């Protein structure tokens, strides 16, 4: 059985390579619009399922793994920033506060489909405007939900839950889900 990661994220690719030695990367082209009436956990799972189903429809002989990571702050889903100003505002809001990172995961093959999520609590350091400006000007936050990467230094004070979930692919959960859809 061949494996496909339905994401172009280099971070997800790196994390998945710790579980699977051989897989193909075929990013889903699905838009990331979501239904505002859903709970954040449902939103992350719905987006992951949409991506997984899109890639699986063209590769029904494979096991497809898709993820979608969202950041939730005070009940609001914070997506990828529209631009540098948006990233600055988002990081300013998160400064010194707690938020959650939720990654929805969908794994599908001919034997089954599993949809689950992982959730990690993040506490941010207090960030100065100068620190935020330098970080944003470096370009790192522009392709990340919540405008940051946990792997980037100086932002996160502490976290409770899975580190790899925050990076974008909860390794323990994905490993379990791959076992569940295996032909036994």
Give catalytic residues, as residue numbers: 68
Evaluated on CA atoms 8, 34, 114, 102, the torsion sign reads: positive
| Whether the Cβ atoms of residue 53 and residue 59 lie closer than 8 Å to each other | no
Strands (E), 14-90: 24-25, 62-73, 76-78
Strands (E), 53-135: 62-73, 76-78, 98-109, 112-124
DSSP bridge partners of 2: 62
CA dihedral in degrees (125, 145, 16, 29; nearest 10)?
-170
What is the DSSP track for 136-179? HHTTGGGGSGGG--TTSTTSEEEEES-HHHHHT--HHHHHHHHH
């Amino acid at each position: 059985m061949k494996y496909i990661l339905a994401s172009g994220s280099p971070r997800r690719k790196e994390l998945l390579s710790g579980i699977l030695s051989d897989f193909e990367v075929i990013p889903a082209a699905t838009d990331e619009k979501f239904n505002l009436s859903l709970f954040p956990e449902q939103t992350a799972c719905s987006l992951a399922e949409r991506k997984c189903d899109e890639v699986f429809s063209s590769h029904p002989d494979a096991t497809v793994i898709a993820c979608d990571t969202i950041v939730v702050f005070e009940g609001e889903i914070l997506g990828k920033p529209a631009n540098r100003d948006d990233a600055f505002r988002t990081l300013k809001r998160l400064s010194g506060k707690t938020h959650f990172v939720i990654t929805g995961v969908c794994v599908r093959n001919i034997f089954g489909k599993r949809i689950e999520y992982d959730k990690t609590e993040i506490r941010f350091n207090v960030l100065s405007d100068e620190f935020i400006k330098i970080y944003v000007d470096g370009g790192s936050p522009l392709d990340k939900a919540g405008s940051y990467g946990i792997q980037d230094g100086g932002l996160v004070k502490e976290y409770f839950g899975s580190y790899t979930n925050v990076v974008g692919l909860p390794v323990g959960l994905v490993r379990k889900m791959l076992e569940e859809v295996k032909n036994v």
